[in-house]
């Protein structure tokens, strides 16, 4: 269960510290492995419900992921645009990365 989030953390660390495009690209497979964590988490959640309710739970989880994706993309776009526009005082480079990680 920890393999997915650990791969995601390693990928983010590589992305954040990469000094070349090739080094940056080495983080991509690790970021792709982040997705294996959601299957393990869903399996753990499914243990607590009856077989007849599993479909409802899967739909509810899918709906939550969809809403989070919509809200997260808008929040990321807004903070990224504000952090690079240069007209705001006290710009904070990387602020968009913080919002992305907090929404995922």
C-alpha 13/C-alpha 31 separation (Å) is 10
pLDDT score of 99: 55
- Domain edges within the chain: 1-48, 52-104
pLDDT score of 12: 86
In our burial notation (b when 16+ CB lie closer than 10 A, e otherwise), range 79-103 reads beeebeeeeeeeeeeeebbebbeee
Per-residue model confidence as pLDDT tens digits over 19-72: 888 988 999 999 898 888 888 888 888 888 998 899 999 899 889 989 998 998
C-alpha 35/C-alpha 20 separation (Å) is 25
Per-residue model confidence as pLDDT tens digits over 65-82: 899 989 988 888 887 777
Question: Model-level pTM greater than 0.85?
Answer: no
């Amino acid at each position: 269960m920890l393999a997915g989030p650990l791969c995601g953390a390693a990928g983010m660390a590589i992305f954040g510290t990469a000094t070349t495009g090739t080094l940056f690209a080495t983080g991509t497979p690790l970021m792709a492995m982040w997705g294996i964590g959601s299957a393990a988490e869903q399996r753990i959640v499914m243990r607590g419900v009856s077989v007849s309710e599993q479909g409802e739970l899967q739909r509810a989880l899918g709906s939550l992921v969809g809403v989070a994706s919509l809200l997260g993309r808008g929040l990321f776009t807004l903070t990224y645009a504000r952090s690079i526009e240069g007209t705001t005082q006290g710009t904070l480079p990387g602020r968009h990365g913080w919002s992305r990680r907090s929404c995922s």
